Amino acid sequence: MLYNKGIGTLEETVLLKPDLTGDKPPGEKREKILTIAIDGPAGAGKSTISMIISKALNIIYLDTGAMYRAVALKMISKGIDLDDRAGVISALEFTDIQIKYDDDVQRLLLDGEDVTSWLRAPKISEAASKVAEIPEVRIKLVDIQRQIASENSLIMDGRDIGTYVLPDAPLKFFLTASLEERAERRWKETDTKDIDQDYDSIKRSIMERDYNDENRSFSPLKKSEDATLIDTTGKSIEEVSSIILEYIHRYLERRRGD
Ligand code: DC
């Protein structure tokens, strides 16, 4: 299966590092799966933090935003107007999205082709937010996300992971940060030679995406009631990841004790 992690077998990917598993007898595979949901708006730090946590725990990091971005890329490359829902839905039927891991790094295969490096362009960010409004798109991608989560310990980030994709996840976090700080983080990530990407246009684009993500009718961006809220404004990556790791370790302690 494509979403096996690197060269390891599926069996191995299910396991956490032995010191975390609590040594349940063989056959109790589900018991050993650790599922962590991270949601929040663009620029809140989800992907950086999720990457760090996945490395610390030796579990998969599934970036679900990349899947919406891939659908957007497909529609753009086929010249389909994103406001033409029927057109998007019919192209969706012929769209194959697969996830694989190469040295623990997620790669996205769109119709068999690795498109990972195309997905972060600003045009794709805006288009992804539009295709993400379409329930048929979400249903197709959520199926894949749940399938991967049913077989692997993982940290999954997105907008609706705690509320809709994995409502039973035992660990849920909702990351936020001020709009200014989120825009500044994205601005620092961009190539400063790109004149279209000044701070103000990044801020505007984030505001628009926040609005779309929070106001769509089908599974909008929303904090799940049982998620831990972490405001990352003014906090370093190290601070945020150690807060989250502390929660995870406490949960694993409790689970070991059960
Ligand atoms: O996290 P990101 O910026 O890569 O996500 C791109 C877009 O996809 C974002 O505007 C919202 C949408 N998205 C979503 O609706 N649900 C998810 N689980 C992940 C992303």
Mean pLDDT, the chain cut into blocks of 10 residues (258 residues total): 38 40 46 91 94 96 98 98 96 97 94 96 92 96 97 96 97 97 89 68 92 91 97 96 97 88
Please, what are the domains in the chain? 10-252 (3.40.50.300)
Ligand 1 touching residue 74 (CB < 6 A): no
Q: How far apart are CA 46 and CA 172, in angstroms?
A: 12
CB 203 near ligand 1, within 6 Å: no
Separation CA 70–CA 119 (nearest Å): 7
Q: Which of 73, 123, 129 to mutate to test the pocket of ligand 1 (most atoms within 8 A of CB)?
A: 129
Helix (H) or strand (E) holding 257: helix 237-257
Residue nearest to atom 5 of ligand 1 (CA): 65
86 Cα: distance to centroid of ligand 1 (angstroms): 21
pLDDT of residue 104: 87
**What pLDDT does 30 receive?**
53
Instruction: Specify the residue with its C-alpha closest to ligand 1, atom 13.
Output: 65
Ligand 1 atom 4 nearest Cα: 65
Burial-class residue 179 by CB neighbours within 10 Å (0-12, 13-18, 19+).
Answer: middle
- The residue whose CA is least distant from atom 15 of ligand 1 is 132
pLDDT of residue 9: 32
Determine the distance separating the centroid of ligand 1 and the alpha carbon of 158, expressed in angstroms.
6
pLDDT at 8: 33
Nearest Cα residue to atom 18 of ligand 1: 158
pLDDT of residue 192: 56
Helix, strand, or coil here: 56?
Answer: helix
Select from 153, 152, 134 the least CA-distant residue to 53: 153
pTM of the model as a whole: 0.87
207 exposure class (CB count in 10 Å sphere: 0-12, 13-18, 19+): middle
The reply to whether ligand 1 has any atom less than 6 angstroms from the CB of 164 is no
Which pLDDT value is given to residue 122? 86
Residue nearest atom 6 of ligand 1, based on CA coordinates: 65
Answer whether 65 contacts ligand 1 (Cβ < 6 A). Answer: yes
Burial 54-66 (b: 16+ CB within 10 A, else e): bebbbbbbbbbbb
Atom of ligand 1 nearest to the CA of 165: 18
Question: What is the structure's pLDDT at 196?
Answer: 60
Residue-level pLDDT at 25: 46
pLDDT confidence of residue 256: 85
